[in-house]
Chains A and B, each alone.
Chain A
Amino acid sequence: MLEKKIAGYSDEISVAPGERIRFMVSCEPGVDRYQADIVRLISGDRQPGGPGYRDELLATPVSGEYPGRTQETYCGSYAIVPHGPAFDGLGDLSLQATIFPTLPGLRRACLISKMDVAAGRGFALWTDPNDGLVLQLGDGAGGIREFALGQPLVAREWYLVSATFDAASGEVQLRQELLDSYARDTSSGEATHTSQGTAVVDCSASLLIAAASREEARGKPIGEMIFNGRIERPVVASRVLERTEIESLRSDAVPVALRSDICAAWDFAHAVETDDIIDISPNHAHGALVNLPIRAVRGSNWTGDELSFHHAPEQYAAIHFVDDSLYDCEWDVDFELEVPADTPSGLYAARLTAGDQEDHITFVVRPPRELSDRSDRAIAALALLIPTASYMAYGNSRGGIEAGNELLSNRLHVVAPEERYLNRHPEYGNSMYDNHNDGTGVCYSSRLRPLINIRPTHPWLWQLSADMHLVEWLEAQGIPFDVITDEDMHHDGVSLLERYACVMTGSHPEYYSTPMWDAVHAYTQRGGRLMYMGGNGFYWRVAYRDDKPGAMEMRRTEDGSRSWASEPGEYYMAFTGEYGGLWWRAGRTPQSLVGNGFIAQGFDHCSYFRRTDASHDPRAAFIFEGVEDEIIGDFGLIGGGAAGLELDSASRAYGTPPHALTVATSEQHTDAYIRVNEDIGHMLLSIGGQDDPQVHADMVFFETPRGGAVFSTGSIAWVSSLFHNNHDNDVSRITRNVLDRFLDPTAIA
Chain B
Amino acid sequence: MPSQYPIDPSRTDLAQEFMANPMGPHSAALQRIVTRMRDSEAAGRYVLVTTVPYKEWSLAQLSGQRGVDLTLLEDQVFTSLEDAERAVFKMRWELITGEPLAID
Q: Footprint of B on A, CB under 8 Å?
A: 2, 46-48, 398, 401-404, 406-407, 410-417, 420, 423-424, 426, 437, 459, 604-605, 670-671, 690
Q: Which 5 A-B pairs have the closest CB atoms?
A: A406-B38, A426-B67, A404-B45, A403-B42, A413-B47
* Chain B residues near A47 (CB-CB < 8 A): 54
Contact (Cβ within 8 A) A605 B47:
no
Contact A402 B66, CB 8 Å, known A411-B85, A459-B53 = yes
Contact of A412 among B48, B66, B69 (CB under 8 A): B48
Chain B residues with Cβ under 8 A from A415's Cβ? 47-50, 60, 70
Q: Are A604 and B42 in contact (CB under 8 A)?
A: no
Is B79 engaged at the interface, CB distance under 8 Å to the other chain? Answer: no
A402:B48 contact, CB within 8 angstroms: no
Q: In the complex, how many angstroms separate the beta carbon of B62 from the nearest chain A beta carbon?
A: 6
Q: How far is the CB of B54 from chain A (nearest CB, A)?
A: 6
A459 to chain B, nearest CB (A): 7
Q: Is the CB of B48 within 8 A of A46?
A: no
Q: Is the CB of A2 within 8 A of B50?
A: yes
Q: A46-B53, A48-B54, A401-B62 are in contact. Are A412 and B88 (CB under 8 A)?
A: yes
Task: Determine if B100 is an interface residue (Cβ-Cβ < 8 Å).
Answer: no
In the complex with contacts A402-B62, A402-B66, A414-B47 CB distance below 8 A = yes
Q: How far is the CA of A631 from the CA of B79 in the complex (A)?
A: 33
Q: How far is the CB of A547 from chain B (nearest CB, A)?
A: 30
Q: A424-B69, A437-B66 are in contact. Are A407 and B50 (CB under 8 A)?
A: no
User: Are the CB atoms of A46 and B54 closer together than 8 Å?
Assistant: yes
Q: What separation, in Å, do the CA atoms of A402 and B68 have in the docked complex? A: 9
Q: What residues of A have a CB within 8 angstroms of the CB of B45 in the complex?
A: 403-404, 406
Interface centre among B23, B28, B47, B62 (most CB of A within 10 A): B47
Report chain A residues within 8 Å CB of B97: none
**Using a CB-CB cutoff of 8 Å, which residues 6-54 of chain B contact chain A?**
23-25, 28, 31, 34-35, 38-40, 42, 45-51, 53-54
Q: A404 near B47 (CB under 8 angstroms)?
A: yes
Q: Give A605 Cβ to nearest chain B Cβ, in Å.
A: 6
Assess A604 versus B25: contact at CB under 8 Å? Given A412-B84, A415-B60: yes
What are the residues of chain B within 8 A of A410 when measuring CB–CB? Answer: 24, 34, 38
Distance in angstroms between the alpha carbons of A389 and B19 in the assembled complex: 42
Asked if B93 is at the interface (CB within 8 A of a chain A CB), the reply is: no
Please determine whether A407 and B38 come into contact, CB atoms closer than 8 angstroms.
yes
> In chain A, what residue has the closest Cβ to B40?
A406
Residue of A nearest to B57 (CB): A414
Apart from the given pairs A406-B45, A415-B50, A417-B50, 4 other A-B contacts in the complex at a CB distance below 8 Å: A2-B50, A402-B62, A406-B40, A413-B47
Nearest to A50 among chain B residues (CB) is B54
Whether A414 pairs with B81 at a CB distance below 8 angstroms is yes
Smallest Cβ-Cβ distance to B49: which chain A residue: A415
* A398 vs B68: C-alpha distance when bound (angstroms): 12
Of B25, B50, B69, which is within 8 A of A423 by CB? B69
- Inside 8 A of B70's CB, which chain A residues have their CB? 401, 415, 420, 423
Known: A415-B47, A426-B67. A407 touches B23 (CB 8 A): no
CA distance A459 to B51 in the complex (A): 13
A170 to B28, CA, bound (A): 74
Q: How far is the CB of A690 from chain B (nearest CB, A)?
A: 8
A423 cross-chain contacts in B, Cβ below 8 A? 66-70
A670 B62 Cβ-Cβ under 8 A:
no
Q: Is the CB of A404 within 8 A of B85?
A: no
Instruction: Name the distance in Å between B43's Cβ and chain A's nearest Cβ.
Output: 10
Q: Which residues of A contact B67 (CB under 8 A)?
A: 423-424, 426
Q: Which of B24, B40, B46 contacts A605 (CB 8 A)?
A: B24
Partner of B24, one of A401, A412, A670: A670
A423 to B64, CA, bound (A): 11
Closest B residue to A406 by CB, please name it: B38
If A2-B51, A46-B53, A459-B53 touch, whether A412 touches B42 (CB-CB below 8 Å) is: no
- Chain B: CB-nearest residue to A418: B50
Contacts of B25 in A (CB 8 A): 604-605, 670-671
Contact at B50–A604, with CB atoms within 8 Å? no
In the bound assembly, the distance between CA atoms of A415 and B70 in angstroms comes to 10
What chain A residues lie within 8 Å of B39 (beta carbons)? Answer: 407
Residues of B within 8 Å of A46, CB to CB, are: 53-54
Q: A413 contacts which chain B residues (CB < 8 A)?
A: 47-48
The reply to whether A414 and B38 form a contact with Cβ atoms under 8 Å apart is no
Nearest B residue to A604 via CB reads B24
Q: How far is the CB of A325 from chain B (nearest CB, A)?
A: 14
Contact pick for B81, options A403, A404, A412, CB 8 Å = A412
Contacts of A424 in B (CB 8 A): 67, 69
Q: Is the CB of A412 within 8 A of B85?
A: yes
- Give the residues in chain B near A437, CB-CB below 8 Å: 66
- Tell me the smallest distance from the CB of A623 to a CB of chain B, in Å: 30
Contact sample, A vs B, 22 pairs, CB 8 Å cutoff: A46-B53, A46-B54, A47-B54, A404-B62, A406-B38, A406-B40, A407-B35, A407-B38, A407-B39, A410-B24, A412-B48, A414-B47, A415-B60, A417-B50, A420-B69, A420-B70, A423-B67, A437-B66, A604-B24, A604-B25, A670-B25, A690-B28
